[in-house]
Amino acid sequence: MLALLLLLAAAPAIEFEGRVVAIIDGDTVGVMRAGREVRIRLHGIDAPEKRQAYGRRAQDYLGEMIFKQTVRVVIRSKDRYGRSVADLYLGSKHVNQEMVRAGMAWWFRRYAPRDMELRELEERAREAGIGLWTDADAIAPWNFRKPAFGPEP
């Protein structure tokens, strides 16, 4: 079992380019690959839920940035919903980081605890009071989801 885990950890990331055909919310998109849509969950970030303050704005911001654009997808893993968890790039722009930089998403500490770049981007956005950080009492999506869906897995 340990050997399998080490082999998987050493496996190269799956990478492809595709056109963004759907913006599901502020951290999930649909990208075309080999003639079919693949659901992509942006690694290391958590955008506000659609029913939450800034949820629609985050979705719109992401759409304005990448909808109908060709992006490079670097898959890291699969989540419990079967979505590919990945980093997205539009040219040299790291889309995941741009969402946090613009104050449209949180650094998702639970799933990217060592990502100091996302940490720094969130701190800067918070200090500058941009995007969702205009609300001094902004509720992280993982806390917003708790009452309705139970604790975050």
Assign residue 125 the CATH number of its domain. 2.40.50.90
* 37 in a structural domain: yes
Of the candidates 71, 126, 86, the one whose C-alpha atom is nearest the C-alpha of residue 102 is: 126
Domain hosting 31: range is 12-142
- Read off the amino acid at residue 84: S
Which of 36, 39, 49, 57 is catalytic? The answer is 49
pLDDT per residue over 15-47, tens digit each? 999 999 999 999 999 999 999 999 999 999 999
Confidence band, pLDDT 50/70/90 cuts, at residue 2: very low
pTM above 0.85, yes or no: yes
pLDDT beyond 80 at 5: no
What letter would DSSP give residue 8? H
* 153 in a structural domain: no
Cα–Cα distance between 83 and 27 in angstroms, integer?
Answer: 11
* 6 in a structural domain: no
* 31 in a structural domain: yes
User: In which region does residue 108 sit, left (phi positive, over 0), alpha (psi from -120 to 50) or beta (all else)?
Assistant: beta
Number of domains in the chain: 1
Question: Mean pLDDT across the chain, nearest whole number?
Answer: 90
Residue 29 · residue 40 · CB < 8 Å: yes
Q: For this structure, is 101 an active site residue?
A: no
SS (H, E, C) 130-147: CHHHHCCCCCCHHHHHHH
Confidence band, pLDDT 50/70/90 cuts, at residue 136: confident
Q: Which residue has the higher pLDDT, 136 or 48?
A: 48
* 85 in a structural domain: yes
Cα–Cα distance between 21 and 49 in angstroms, integer?
Answer: 20
pLDDT beyond 70 at 133: yes
Average pLDDT over residues 71-100: 97
* 49 in a structural domain: yes
Which of 19, 39, 41, 145 is catalytic? The answer is 41
Tell me, what's the pLDDT at 146? 81
Q: For this structure, is 49 an active site residue?
A: yes
User: In which region does residue 129 sit, left (phi positive, over 0), alpha (psi from -120 to 50) or beta (all else)?
Assistant: left
Which of 37, 56, 83, 124 is catalytic? The answer is 83
* 62 in a structural domain: yes
Q: For this structure, is 119 an active site residue?
A: no
* 55 in a structural domain: yes
